[in-house]
Structure formats: structure tokens, C-alpha cells
Amino acid sequence: MQGRSTVRYSSAQPLPRQVIEDCFLAAGSAPSGASLQPWRFVVVSDPAIKRQIREASEREEYLFCHERAPEDWLEALAPLATDEHEPCLEIALSLVGIFALNYRVLPNGRKVKNYYVGESVGIATAILITAVPRAGLVSLTQEQRL
Ligand SMILES: Cc1cc2nc3c(=O)[nH]c(=O)nc-3n(C[C@H](O)[C@H](O)[C@H](O)COP(=O)(O)O)c2cc1C
């Protein structure tokens, strides 16, 4: 597990679907508050949608870098030499959107709060990120301000 690291390039070889599904089976085995599994994983491989996501993300990142980010945050990011440009969002063969469900909707339409959402989604994400290199793949984690 110590061999994992963030990778910002990608091979052009297609991803075997079974390998991806196995990674999500591992992630979905995570423990969660009241076993509510408050996550949804969405895989995007369509180049046109990846482009839209990159464009939307770069618009937000530009505002973040130039207007919203506090100075000390920018200082912390400086050694990584990253900026608002996010070519990886198109280079990557697949993007995985990880959504946290703050509430669930019962069959009668009532909204009910989920518990320990951040913790549970964080654990599931950690398992996914750990499973990916064990399956021979690489990943780059990004929080998206969309
Ligand atoms: C919540 C989170 C958000 C991150 N956001 C970005 C990002 O926006 N852009 C980026 O290039 N890397 C991002 N990273 C990757 C970190 O820069 C990377 O994990 C860190 O430099 C340590 O490197 P390692 O993952 O190889 O150990 C993010 C990582 C996490 C956990």
C-alpha cells in the first residue's frame, strides 16, 4: 500500500470493465454510519463529457486560484506547481465522480438525514484509491468545486 502515489498521466490502453467493477466492489464494502452507504460512484469515460467537466472545473479553479483561495492555501499548493489547468480530466481514461449523500429519500418521499457522511465516504474513497494500484491502475484525487 505504501507504493501508492498520485499519478498525473495515463496510458491509452482501454480499461477492462471487470477490473473497474472489482475496484468499486472493494470501495462499496467500506463501513458506514448505520450502514447507510451514503455514496454514489459515477464513472465517466465519454470524451465529450470529460471535456465538459474539464471546462467547468477549470472555470471554478481559475476563480479559486485568482480570487477565492486564501494566501496560505496558495503557499501550501506552490510546491506542487499546479494551477487552474486540468488536462488530466481529459487525459484520464475514466473520471470517477464520488458523491456524498447527505440524506436519503424514503419510498413515501420523506427526506431522512444520513449520519457520518463525510467519514463514511472518506473511508470508501480510501479503499477505492488503495484498490486501484493493486489492480494495475493509477489515480489522481481531486476535490471538485463545481
Ligand atoms: C482531497 C484531495 C484533493 C486533491 N486535490 C488535488 C488537485 O486539485 N490537483 C492535484 O493535482 N492534486 C490533488 N490532490 C493530490 C495531492 O496533491 C497528492 O495526494 C499529494 O501531493 C501527495 O502525493 P501522493 O498522493 O503521491 O502521496 C488532492 C488530494 C486529495 C486527497
- CB of 29 within 6 A of ligand 1: the answer is no
Q: What is the pLDDT of residues 26-38, one digit of tens each?
A: 999 999 999 999 9
Question: Which of 54, 141, 144, 146 best tests ligand 1's pocket when mutated (most atoms within 8 Å of CB)?
Answer: 141
- CB of 5 within 6 A of ligand 1: the answer is yes
- CB of 141 within 6 A of ligand 1: the answer is yes
Query: What is the C-alpha to C-alpha distance for residues 91 and 80, in angstroms, rounded to an integer?
Result: 19
Question: For ligand 1, atom 25, which residue shows the shortest CA distance?
Answer: 6
Q: What is the pLDDT of residues 66-78, one digit of tens each?
A: 999 999 999 999 9
pTM of the entire structure?
A: 0.90
- CB of 142 within 6 A of ligand 1: the answer is yes
Helices 117-134 and 17-27, interaxial angle, to 10°?
140
pLDDT at 19: 94
Q: How confident is the model at residue 62 (pLDDT cuts 50, 70, 90)?
A: very high
pLDDT at 69: 92
In the predicted structure, residue 53 carries a pLDDT above the cut 60 = yes
